[in-house]
């Protein structure tokens, strides 16, 4: 396994030689160490990315030329899909089929942005209709410059792809720092990009801590744009750092997303989507629908079925066949989720199922999938992101109540509604104050569709054409096209 930094097209040891341990969350074993970059390494990487952008001509390539590299990266990912998925499992803990899905999605993301890069050639400018006929004007899109990208540990390769693919498609160069807990697949991405022949300096991947390497990226004057996915408090620091020299910034932060189930919904389908919405990836999903609101008429029956099915979930090492819930990513994350459950209990909530370390697991950061009821609406369990397999289920009476409860949050990443009444579902979807809304499902994510949050869940959108826009500036070019002199000073 790799343990160096990928800077300027080369594998290098960090200038100061620091390392960080990589722990398998299923076994608690230290698997290897990886390099821990410092500000010196970041400076070298940013300078390489600057040179690749300012002098070497990456932004001057046609979209089709950049697309070739992106497609080669997509092919490289696919050619090692199972191997990369396995690395994701031992690094992050998720079940293999989920990791395999993520890796396929990551390859798809590079293909998709290759397509958008090609479109940039066919559609390079927009003519602006001016009221003053003596002028012609057009708007052109240009890459912002050097992007600094910082990502979390819950979807390691996929989050890297959501940043790297659109940045490269747009013509930006990039310095990426994966989360210190899960860096292995980002290093594989660097190796794949290298094999694809990506020019030196265009993509730089540095492992290291947030407080040192991450901080150095956000503070670096040579970085033009910051793209971040992670927690609210760090997002806030990044926005403050960006404000100092007006860096462009996009933030994908946390959530406490509601899932409203009306009493005309099919209970079995609702239970399936509720489980998918909170137990997928051990609930470590920014858009997890962790507040489930169920209409009175079906509340008891739905809850009983949800508990019954949740109790059947197979827990184990993500590499084992049939496992649907792996360990949480780290001891720290595990302890935080356990503490959040204890605090919910202290606040008066009832544990309908789960809440404990599963039997037979002495090692590994395992936790039973957990359902909480009677959660006080002013308690942290209801208002704060837990980022684990913990769902709060709460009854409601009317559509109005459901919308008010759903929107009563400082977050606004996602929201879901389930009803057989299409008109009602659409009405509720329109009323949600959230950037991503699902009707009769929860969590399906498409590279083509915009992704991002309202309120404290972030700023800007990733994926789709919006993801490309994140890395583009808009330039106005206006020409005086009249034969007559302007005649203001010189008559
Ligand atoms: P985190 O904010 O602690 O870390 C995210 C990244 O930021 C890591 O790479 C970390 O090293 C880096 N970082 C930490 N301090 C930094 C600093 N001072 N300067 C620069 N970088 C710094 O988050 P996490 O614990 O890795 O991830 C969990 C959080 O991320 C959850 O709150 C979750 O909701 C959120 N998340 C959001 C999305 C989304 O799309 N909206 C996706 C995944 C995770």
pLDDT in tens, 323-358: 999 999 999 999 999 999 999 999 999 999 999 999
| CA-based nearest residue to 307, from 335, 338, 258, 267 | 267
Burial class (CB in 10 A: 0-12, 13-18, 19+), 132: exposed
Query: Would you say residue 413 has pLDDT above 70?
Result: yes
325, β-bridge pairs = 315
Q: Is 353 a catalytic residue?
A: no
Ligand 1, pocket residues at CB < 6 Å: 150-154, 177, 179-180, 209-211, 214-215, 218, 229-231, 234, 237, 252-254, 286, 385, 387, 413, 458
pLDDT in tens, 71-102: 999 999 999 999 999 999 999 999 999 999 99
Tokens found for residue 153: 């540990």
* Percent of the chain clearing pLDDT 70 (strictly above): 100
pLDDT of residue 1: 66
Evaluate whether 454 touches 255 at the Cβ level (below 8 Å).
no
Q: Are strands 350-353 and 225-229 parallel, antiparallel or unpaired?
A: unpaired
Residue 123 banded pLDDT, cuts 50, 70, 90: confident
Using the 8-state DSSP alphabet, how is residue 391 labeled? Answer: E
Tens of pLDDT, residue by residue over 288-329, are: 999 999 999 999 999 999 999 999 999 999 999 999 999 999
Check if 252 is active-site.
yes
d(CA 148, CA 175): 5
Do the Cβ atoms of 216 and 237 come closer than 8 Å? Answer: no
Positive or negative torsion for Cα 34, 39, 44, 50? positive
30-36 and 125-128 beta bridge pairing: unpaired
Beta bridge partners of 392: 291, 372
Contact 264, 364 (CB under 8 A): no
In ligand 1, the atom with minimum distance to the C-alpha of 458 is 41
Task: Give the pLDDT of residue 430.
Answer: 98
Residue bearing tokens 């690749």: 52
Residue ID of nearest Cα to ligand 1 atom 30: 230
């Amino acid at each position: 396994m790799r343990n160096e930094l990928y800077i300027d097209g080369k594998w290098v040891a960090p200038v100061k030689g620091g390392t960080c341990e990589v722990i398998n969350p299923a076994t608690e074993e230290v698997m290897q160490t990886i390099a821990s970059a410092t500000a010196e390494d970041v400076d070298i990487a940013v300078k390489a990315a600057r040179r690749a952008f300012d002098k070497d001509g990456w932004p001057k390539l046609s979209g089709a030329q950049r697309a070739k590299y992106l497609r080669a990266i997509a092919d490289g990912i696919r050619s090692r899909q199972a191997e990369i998925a396995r690395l994701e499992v031992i690094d992050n803990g998720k079940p293999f089929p989920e990791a395999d899905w993520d890796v396929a999605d990551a390859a798809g993301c590079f293909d998709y942005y290759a397509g958008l890069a090609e479109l940039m050639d066919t559609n390079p400018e927009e003519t602006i209709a001016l009221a003053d006929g003596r002028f012609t004007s057009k708007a052109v899109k240009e890459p912002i410059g050097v992007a600094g990208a910082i990502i979390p540990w819950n979807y390691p390769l996929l989050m890297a792809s959501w940043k790297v693919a659109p940045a490269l498609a747009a013509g930006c160069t990039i310095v990426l720092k994966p989360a210190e807990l899960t860096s292995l697949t980002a290093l594989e991405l660097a190796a794949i990009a290298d094999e694809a022949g990506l020019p030196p300096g265009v993509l730089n991947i540095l492992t290291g801590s947030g407080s040192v390497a991450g901080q150095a990226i956000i503070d670096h004057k040579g970085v033009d744009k910051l793209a971040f996915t992670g927690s609210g408090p760090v997002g806030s620091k990044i926005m403050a750092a960006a404000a100092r020299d007006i860096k462009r910034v996009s933030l994908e932060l946390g959530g406490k997303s509601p899932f409203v189930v009306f009493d005309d919904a099919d209970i079995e389908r609702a239970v399936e989507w509720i489980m998918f919405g909170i137990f997928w990836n051990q609930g470590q999903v920014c858009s997890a629908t962790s507040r489930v609101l169920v209409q009175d008429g079906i509340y008891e029956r739905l809850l009983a079925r949800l508990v019954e099915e949740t109790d059947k979930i197979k827990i184990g090492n993500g590499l084992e066949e049939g496992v649907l819930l792996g360990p949480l990513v780290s001891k720290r994350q595990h302890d935080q989720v356990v503490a959040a459950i204890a605090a919910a209990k202290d606040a008066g909530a009832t544990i309908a199922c789960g809440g404990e370390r599963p039997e037979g697991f002495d090692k590994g950061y395992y936790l039973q999938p957990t359902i909480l009821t009677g959660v006080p609406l002013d308690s942290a369990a209801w208002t704060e992101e837990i980022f684990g397999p913990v769902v709060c289920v709460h009854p409601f009476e009317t559509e109005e109540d459901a919308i008010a409860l759903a929107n009563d949050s400082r977050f606004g990443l996602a929201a879901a509604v389930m009803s057989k009444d299409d008109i009602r579902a659409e009405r509720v979807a329109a009323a949600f104050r959230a950037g991503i809304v699902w009707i009769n499902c929860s969590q399906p994510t498409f590279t083509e569709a915009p992704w991002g949050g309202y309120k404290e869940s972030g700023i800007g959108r990733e994926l789709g054409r919006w993801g490309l826009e994140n890395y583009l500036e808009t330039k106005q070019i206006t020409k005086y096209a009249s034969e007559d002199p302007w005649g203001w000073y010189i008559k």
